[in-house]
Structure 1
Amino acid sequence: MTTVNPVIPFPEQLPVLFQDALNAGDVDGLLALFAPEAGMRTVHGEYLTGEPALRAELEGTVGRHGRLTNVQRHTLPGAGTALLVTEWTMEIDGEDGERLTATGATANIARRGGDGGWRFALLNPLGLD
């Protein structure tokens, strides 16, 4: 899918937009939610940066039929950044085809860009773990 980078006026919108794009299988839409040079810690603890690495991770999740539910708990904005604490549940196909469910809480950071819109600067689905 080709996705135009939207201007996201409020940081608390990001978790729901991420959920909706992932559930739709829209990898380009997911990548549009990331700021340039953003990073992501995977649920396996690996740290990724750069569009090719993020794309590969997201394509893998979409390819395993990932289904995400996000519940936003806290949005703490300040100085052009925001801390987003979100509870999540992910259903995904395991390597043997069995449907797996995992839950957790994030500690994500968003930043406001020059266009006034918000993007993820850092995704950390493992929260404080």
Structure 2
Amino acid sequence: MLPVVTDPAKLPLVFQDALNAGDIAGVLALFAAGAGMRTVTGEHLAGTEALRAEISGTVAAHGRLTNVPRHTLVGAETALLVTDWTMEIDGPDGERIAPTGTTANIARRDADGGWRFTLLNPLGTA
């Protein structure tokens, strides 16, 4: 189990490390209850099971994420996290691809003092 993340700026790096380790439960622990995500294909997912399926698919395709945090803006127990990313992953034809982008993610501080993602948007403003 991952430790509680008390600095929202560290969320992208903790997410990266858990995903790269294939720790699906660890990645899911970084999401608040009822969290949602927009996938790189534009689909909107919500809830633990949909997030588990998405993360599991990334792990199965040997995803290797590199996050470079750009901005963390905090107010009212909410944080906007802007992060540049590269995801090396096995494409549908088995060839390794490396799409890139910039996220616009939202996190909130929970009662335990830990920060968790409420929305992930790897497509940023696109």
Short-chain TM bin? over 0.9
Moved over 3 A (4+): none
Aligned to 1:72, the other structure's residue is in SS state strand
Say yes or no: does 1:64 pair with 2:44.
no
- 2:95 alignment counterpart: 98
TM-score (norm 1): 0.96
Identity of aligned residues (%): 71
Say yes or no: does 1:18 pair with 2:15.
yes
Contact conserved, 1:6 with 1:32, CA < 8 A, in 2?
no
Query: Quick one: distance in 2 between partners of 1:85 and 1:96?
Result: 31
Deviations 1:27-71 (A, max 9, x none): 000000000000000000000001110000000000000000000
Provide the aligned C-alpha RMSD in A.
Answer: 0.7
- 1:76 alignment counterpart: 73
**CA shift at 1:25, angstroms?**
0.6
Query: Structure 2 unaligned runs (5+)?
Result: none
Query: Quick one: distance in 2 between partners of 1:91 and 1:67?
Result: 5
TM-score (norm 2): 0.98
1:85 counterpart (63, 82, 96): 82
Query: Quick one: distance in 2 between partners of 1:42 and 1:6?
Result: 26
Aligned to 2:123, the other structure's residue is in SS state coil
Query: Quick one: distance in 2 between partners of 1:59 and 1:117?
Result: 24
Number of aligned positions between the proteins = 126
Q: Return the letter of the residue paired with 1:63.
A: A
